[in-house]
Amino acid sequence: MVVNIGVLGFQGDIEEHVEAWRNASEELGVKTNVLLVKKAEQVKQIDAISIPGGESTVIGSLSERMRVMGALKEAILGGLPTLGTCAGLIVLAKRSKDAVVTEKTQPLLGVMDVEVERNHFGRQNDSFEADLKIPVLGEKPFRAVFIRAPIITRTGPGVEVLAEMEDGIVAARQANIVSTAFHPELSGDTRFHKYFLKDVAKLV
């Protein structure tokens, strides 16, 4: 069996997501076909999807303009396993606020019952790395890369917190949806992707 994984292909660190899926599936011994999703009809061809980090306003507006937003929303609500990293987390969230320009509306899928604050860590300290405790990945800390990262400020009742820092929640799961404020695709550690493929998407 070949597993089809989509990466929303409009903007952001798309290639890094493709690479991370390839590495994780190879390590798990799963045959994977990774495709860039840019059209609504492609949403029907995939078993899981990831939404990259980048600029959430651009990813959201292009998804809307290219008419992928509606199909994707329906699929995720119907159970499509979905991983959103950084900007991807913002696009999946019910509500977003910007730490700099507080009330700014942007097109969101709105499928995950969380509220996020964009650019939480500000401009002066907009990139850093931290060792996180992520219990679903085991004992060994996970080196997490944060780039102009958001933070989760509120979670609904169906949302499980996967990782937290002093500032707030940085990884969470709601059934088939997993989101991170950091970039697991950039750390070279495939544990997060393997967890997603095995425990969330159940494709292994």
- Interaction between residue 20 and ligand GLN (CB under 6 A): no
Question: Which pairs count as long-range contacts for 13-21, CB under 8 Å and 24+ apart, including other chains?
Answer: 13/52, 13/53, 13/54, 13/183, 13/185, 13/186, 14/52, 16/52, 16/183, 16/185, 16/186, 17/50, 17/52, 17/85, 17/185, 19/185, 20/184, 20/185, 20/190, 20/193, 21/50, 21/193
Considering only CA atoms, give the Rg of the chain. Answer: 15
**Mask: binding to ligand GLN, 93-132, rule CB under 6 A, as x and -?**
-------------------------xx-------------
Interface residue with ligand GLN among 53, 81, 84, 184 (CB under 6 A) is 53
The answer on whether 56 is annotated among ligand-binding residues is: yes
- Interaction between residue 55 and ligand GLN (CB under 6 A): yes
| Binders of ligand GLN in range 136-155 (CB under 6 A) | 147-148
**Total residues interacting with ligand GLN, rule: CB under 6 A:** 11
Closest approach of Cβ 103 to ligand GLN, in Å? 14
Phi, psi angle pair for 90, to nearest 5°: -65, -45
- The catalytic position among 17, 86, 117, 193 is 86
- Residue 30 is encoded by which pair of tokens? 């799963």
- Interaction between residue 186 and ligand GLN (CB under 6 A): no
Q: Which residues are identified as catalytic? A: 86, 183, 185
Query: Under the rule (CB under 6 A), what is the footprint of ligand GLN?
Result: 53-56, 86-87, 90, 118-119, 147-148
